[in-house]
Structure 1
């Protein structure tokens, strides 16, 4: 008997759900026979590529979870009074319910499509000419499912330090069903994320990124030299790869307070080597990337990012046109945040003053002013693994070299890591703000630290920190 499934935008879409329906009851709107969708290797590849398209939607990593709403929630942009941006900036989520619900729905929509793939490639293994391709597609799908569920936890779940006292619970959706998916405990949710990541890593044991350099897989001329390599395996850092799954594992473990496991996972990525003994991911490449103005998004440091051909247009609309900015001049960014070092390459090369009609000036970041080959939205970068390892290590003398190297590559003075958790957190916050501005990560650090307003740089006097986005009303009955 033929089985029908929903493809791409069909499952769990906001537009298709009536007010009386629970969001996590997966009820397909558009149905297509699995005989057609999973009839060949190419159609399976297309189905997975469709998930990456969903992830680049403006409501998720194509904008709102990369540099707009998520960074408004971290007080990184100046906002207009009574605007949606101001509501996110002040953590007044009840004023932007459609937007908050939309993010939730889009993330679960992508998960639903991944579940379609995972379930149906198992039933259609015969279409694969290569076991490696089957393993990598399933591995990518499982790791992406874990990644998306984890971001749902980081947004809608409890502050980690308060999880034991209760808070919202989320469903970990692993199948396509019209039945309600029951929310589970904070700890069980972690177990399922890590289970997916570990299974994914086993399946990705033949990921080409383990055997070839990121540059060789990314450069068309170098990739062409690799014999018998399927084009699907090109540019592995623009897809969920083995090291990306390991990096997300490090993130997850630190979120849940499992520092030894976080340290181990982070160091595996940091220490990864190519066949010739060179570093798989090299933090020293940042210097040439920024000073040469060839790679403002630091694709050279990205473990995983989303290639977005439309980034130049997004840069123009959001940044060059002055929509997202902080200050009329360099005072707030250069003086207050960077400390006016005069040497920090991020301070010198990633920010600029723009003048607009009417004598208005704004200080904007040019991070997203990307070249043709570097239109890749950062999801996780090497420097974050350095921070995870530094925070997780039981011996700060062991990770002092990582801290020294990180600071040297940013052209800032050496500094001894402080002793004591509170002082270390303060130091990491200072650097994290500079490093991940406009990348959608600072809010999550504030949430993990449960930061008071006094720790939130540029916070409005009206802000009352609230790190838990409200679940859609249709979910509250679960």
Structure 2
């Protein structure tokens, strides 16, 4: 809610009144707090959650447990579909980065990566076989997802937003309801990139168009009902963006790229590294509702043009801030 309704977070804007933050039950109308006050509440709550989960969340000893409990209820199973210890730590890194606190964001990201990648292998990279399977593709790279929604009706989202039969005004696509792959080719700089495979030309019999198949329903495919909320690659991108050493930042970036069967990059400056991170983040989270917040956090004034298969358009910074609902404002008049 803060990322949506709050300002672009910086020293000049952090004192702007943003949203309420409810800390107790009752009938009182909670005051609207500044972005800085809300951010502190968020980080404090996440740190408290980590202290409570630290020695009790079985994900740290038994992994994601994505199977039924053989001897009882599933409350502590299916940890990728519950806000577990690792997901909470990832969210804390995200929250610090939103505030521009790169040192603390890096601490959380590197501690997390050390535990899940070095000490253990809790969220393994998607395998080539799973990513490229012709029959049971893992298009959401489910093994890497730290926290997600379980939506048995996910196919309805696909039909409403991505299906080839939708007209151009109602479809989320990179083309003009045709087979133009210009934008796909511009984004995916390596044709062997596993992530590129979500874009395929499909046909309904009357329409043939480039279609995003990330959420297409495939019976028995991995992550069939999964809608990712935070994933391993975002933590690697946080580490890449926040590390003060350019070479180390690049190494984090390339961990994501090489796991996607893409060639490594060698940005020559912090600015070019940041651009590379933005492009990689876009590939990772497309269809997951995160790119808007990346653009907002980094105050991007030039974004891809939605009305064309090529080019960019200007973004007015004030348009990143969604107005509070009238029902929220009227409670305080």
Q: Normalising to structure 1: TM-score of the pair?
A: 0.61
C-alpha change, 1:258 and 1:369, in structure 2 (3 Å) is same
What is the total number of aligned residue pairs between the two structures?
Answer: 312
Contact 1:325/1:364 (<8 A) preserved: yes
C-alpha change, 1:334 and 1:161, in structure 2 (3 Å) is same
Secondary structure at the residue paired with 2:253?
helix
- Residue of structure 2 equivalent to 1:363: 210
The yes-or-no answer on 1:352 pairing with 2:200 is yes
In the TM superposition, what is the alpha-carbon distance from 1:297 to its structure 2 partner? 1.3
Secondary structure at the residue paired with 2:51?
helix
- Residue of structure 1 equivalent to 2:128: 287
Contact 1:159/1:447 (<8 A) preserved: yes
- Residue of structure 2 equivalent to 1:298: 141
Contact 2:146/2:232 (<8 A) preserved: yes
Q: Provide the C-alpha distance between the structure 1 equivalents of 2:99 and 2:184, rounded to a whole number of angstroms.
A: 34
In the TM superposition, what is the alpha-carbon distance from 1:405 to its structure 2 partner? 2.0
In the TM superposition, what is the alpha-carbon distance from 1:428 to its structure 2 partner? 1.3
Instruction: Compare the two structures and name the one with the higher strand fraction.
Output: 2
In the TM superposition, what is the alpha-carbon distance from 1:354 to its structure 2 partner? 2.2
The farther-off stretch of 159-168 and 258-267 is 159-168
- Residue of structure 2 equivalent to 1:468: 321
- Residue of structure 2 equivalent to 1:138: none
The yes-or-no answer on 1:241 pairing with 2:84 is yes
Q: Provide the C-alpha distance between the structure 2 equivalents of 1:365 and 1:337, rounded to a whole number of angstroms.
A: 14
- Equivalent of 2:296 in 421, 440, 447: 447
C-alpha change, 1:157 and 1:163, in structure 2 (3 Å) is farther
C-alpha change, 1:449 and 1:266, in structure 2 (3 Å) is same
- Residue of structure 2 equivalent to 1:333: 183
- Residue of structure 2 equivalent to 1:401: 251
Tell which has more relative contact order, 1 or 2 (C-alpha 8 A, sep 6+): 1
Q: Deviations over 1:450-475 (max 9, x none)?
A: 1112xx12344886431000111243
- Residue of structure 1 equivalent to 2:47: 198
Q: Any unmatched runs of 5+ in structure 2?
A: none
Contact 1:155/1:469 (<8 A) preserved: yes
- Residue of structure 2 equivalent to 1:128: none
- Equivalent of 1:310 in 145, 153, 168: 153
In the TM superposition, what is the alpha-carbon distance from 1:396 to its structure 2 partner? 2.4
Q: Provide the C-alpha distance between the structure 2 equivalents of 1:264 and 1:174, rounded to a whole number of angstroms.
A: 27
Q: Any unmatched runs of 5+ in structure 1?
A: 1-151
Contact 2:179/2:209 (<8 A) preserved: yes
Contact 1:305/1:376 (<8 A) preserved: yes
Q: Deviations over 1:55-78 (max 9, x none)?
A: xxxxxxxxxxxxxxxxxxxxxxxx
Q: Normalising to structure 2: TM-score of the pair?
A: 0.85
In the TM superposition, what is the alpha-carbon distance from 1:316 to its structure 2 partner? 3.1
Q: Deviations over 1:283-305 (max 9, x none)?
A: 3x253331124321111110000
Q: Deviations over 1:10-61 (max 9, x none)?
A: xxxxxxxxxxxxxxxxxxxxxxxxxxxxxxxxxxxxxxxxxxxxxxxxxxxx
In the TM superposition, what is the alpha-carbon distance from 1:357 to its structure 2 partner? 5.4
C-alpha change, 1:230 and 1:357, in structure 2 (3 Å) is closer
Q: Provide the C-alpha distance between the structure 2 equivalents of 1:398 and 1:336, rounded to a whole number of angstroms.
A: 26
- Residue of structure 2 equivalent to 1:380: 230
- Residue of structure 1 equivalent to 2:18: 169
Q: Provide the C-alpha distance between the structure 1 equivalents of 2:292 and 2:201, rounded to a whole number of angstroms.
A: 25
CA radius of gyration, larger in: 1
Secondary structure at the residue paired with 1:232?
coil
Contact 1:270/1:281 (<8 A) preserved: no
1:10-159 correspondence to structure 2 within 5 Å: 152-159=1-8
In the TM superposition, what is the alpha-carbon distance from 1:182 to its structure 2 partner? 0.4
- Residue of structure 2 equivalent to 1:254: 97
The yes-or-no answer on 1:218 pairing with 2:66 is yes
Q: Provide the C-alpha distance between the structure 2 equivalents of 1:166 and 1:195, rounded to a whole number of angstroms.
A: 18
- Residue of structure 2 equivalent to 1:72: none
- Residue of structure 2 equivalent to 1:232: 75
